[in-house]
Amino acid sequence: MLAAKKDGRRARTTLLSWRNSEQGDTHMEKSKTLAVDIGGTGIKAALLDENGQMIGKRSRVPTPPKPVAPEVLTATIDEAVSALGGFDRASVGFPGAVREGRVLTAPNLGTEVLAGFDLQNELSKRWGKPVRVMNDADVQGFGAIKGKGVEFVLTLGTGAGTSLFYNGKILPHLELAHHPIKGDMTYDEYVGRAALEKIGKKKWNKRVERIIGVLRTVVNFDHLYIGGGNSKAVKFELPADVSLVSNMDGLLGGIALWRSEAPARRSSNGARGGAPKEARPTSRRGRAAKAMPQPKVAKAATPRQPRRRSPATAAAAAGGESSGDGHGRTLVASQPGTAPAFSVPFGACDCHVHVFGAAAEFPFAARRGYTPLPASADELLKLQRGLHLSRVVIVQPSVYGSDNACTLDGMRRLGDRARGVAVIDENTDREALDRMHRAGVRGIRINLETAGETDPDTARRNLIAALERVAPLGWHVQIYTRLSVIDRLAEDLSQAQAPIVIDHFGGAQAAAGTEQPGFSTLLSLVRDGNAYVKVSAAYRSSEKPPAYDDVAPLARALIEANPDRIVWGTDWPHPHAAEPGKGLKQPAPFYDIDDGLALNQLAEWAPDVAIRRKILVDNPARLYGFPPL
């Protein structure tokens, strides 16, 4: 017998109506809100009046099979909406992580094709209306909660969704559904639709009951709401502080996304969109609910001072995770948390960054070590401004193979401040090289380390082939490898007919010190002017966050050897290989690195202003062909 309590639709719409009248939101008067709920099996849409009550009937169309390309998704949403009539604005619940309307993950639709897609802006352009897109569990939560205390929402559908509220104010979204709940089994796998169909209702209900106990311990909720299409399969007696809610809340909650006085970001067609900055229901007494203090995001122009957080705390605040290697993780490319502590000279250059676009626009290579999240040229420009830098070198990442389209697009968007380093293969002809030269490419990269290639003979063949291709263009060859390979290639590198650039301290490790095998060879190459070295990505040489200051002896030794052959870089957005067992369909979070701290370490390594200018301005200008200042 089903002994669960279920909130009725009449009670829910009455509550929404009461909240709106109490709040007195003039923006809501006589307006029609289109609410869209994107599910794993169906896309539902409905019109809501200013009180949050449904106008007419809802529509539903099947969700296309995974993976759902962006253009297919938007066309299917249009199909669901077409029969409903006119509206003034739209709210969309999306089954995955969303940041400012842009998709970060979409596990049940296809992250590999949707990551980076600006769904909010695209729908706003198509409809000519303001649109707000939010995680679907968050939207359903707005339709379910009472606005009192700690309220947690668990949605059970194709997967499992979660949202958390405090006194009616939504807290930063965590993709708890993809966290292990039993062994390596995630919430999605444990209680998603596939599990229900595989193990049957009886065992599935036991799992749901266990999850309630886990959430009670972890969250300490005042009330837990269970919604989603599979909530109807819950057949055990629920505690007094747990209740089932209508799946319609995924639509009715859409009205709350517009309960905001703060202006949202403007989309490209001029309509206003963006996640609500103050989407807060009022309390039962009609007063605005008191919100739990939220962390503020620092502006790039005035970065905050460093926060001494553990890697796990830093990652959680950024919406990411932590790993046993000591580095925090983040789902969004990091911005500097520390202001530059010295006067950064005009013309200063970050000589090592990457950009990553949406997979639908810039497909990844089939053979790759990880699947990155988006990191755009706009975000890179924000980083540049935060660090007071004037120039940047975008390096082709391994995930695109020899297809340099994303790197070239990033360079084009940043204009004259950007140069590039490409990856080529035997199919790259001279005409393509000339086009890249005109676009600002000034070198090619041989990435042996990411490919796990440590054979010196293979490295030598790659080096010789690369030198033959770039010498007529006046380009350099950039090598990412380890000290043992550099040691074996020393003679070839010293006789190269084009400049040689070695990535990331040559792979030297801080813990091994300056006497580690191969480091003296690297110093000799630098001292004799036969190679440049990037003192970049200190976190790849150290396991001592957040400053990674134990690399200082390595950096000082290289700079002392020859400051005319040293350049500096961040390695933003700090990508890394997929975690073991994760596969390529799940995006690998970035390392959460404070690049402000990284820049300030340079002042410790090179306290002399003239030497810092060589490293930041003069050497990059010579190597990458930047025009005179």
Helix orientation angle between 552-561 and 519-527, rounded to the nearest 10 degrees:
30
Q: How far apart are CA 436 and CA 539, in angstroms?
A: 31
Provide DSSP, 151-189: EEEEEESSSEEEEEEETTEEPPP--GGGSEEETTEEHHH
Q: Which two tokens stand for residue 232?
A: 């109807």
Name the residue type at position 371: T
- Sign, CA dihedral 110-113-119-123, equals negative
- Can you point out the beta strands (E) in 426-546? 441-447, 476-480, 500-502, 532-536
Length of the chain: 629
Helices marked H in 354-500 — which ranges?
Answer: 377-386, 405-414, 430-439, 456-470, 483-488, 490-494
In eight-state DSSP terms, residue 573 is T
Place of tokens 């409903």: 84
Q: Which two tokens stand for residue 614?
A: 């060589």
Q: Which two tokens stand for residue 212?
A: 């309630």
Burial of residue 243 (CB within 10 Å: 0-12, 13-18, 19+) is middle
Q: How far apart are CA 608 and CA 606, in angstroms?
A: 5
Q: How far apart are CA 431 and CA 372, in angstroms?
A: 30
**528 catalytic, yes or no?**
no
| CB 133 within 8 Å of CB 202 | no
CA 77 to mean position of chain CA atoms: 25
Of the candidates 571, 592, 594, 595, the residue annotated as catalytic is 571
Name the residue type at position 591: Y
Q: How far apart are CA 264 and CA 213, in angstroms?
A: 38
Phi/psi at 118 (5° precision):
-85, 80
Q: Which two tokens stand for residue 120?
A: 């909010």
Helix orientation angle between 119-127 and 70-81, rounded to the nearest 10 degrees:
50
| CB 617 within 8 Å of CB 567 | no
Strands 102-103, 160-166: pairing kind: unpaired
Closest among 210, 215, 123, 209 to 164, alpha carbons compared: 215
Burial of residue 126 (CB within 10 Å: 0-12, 13-18, 19+) is middle
Place of tokens 């749901």: 208
CA 138 to mean position of chain CA atoms: 19
Q: What's the angle, vertex CA 439, arms to CA 438 and CA 440, rounded to 5?
A: 90
Place of tokens 């000589």: 351
Closest among 166, 161, 169 to 211, alpha carbons compared: 161
Known catalytic residues are 571
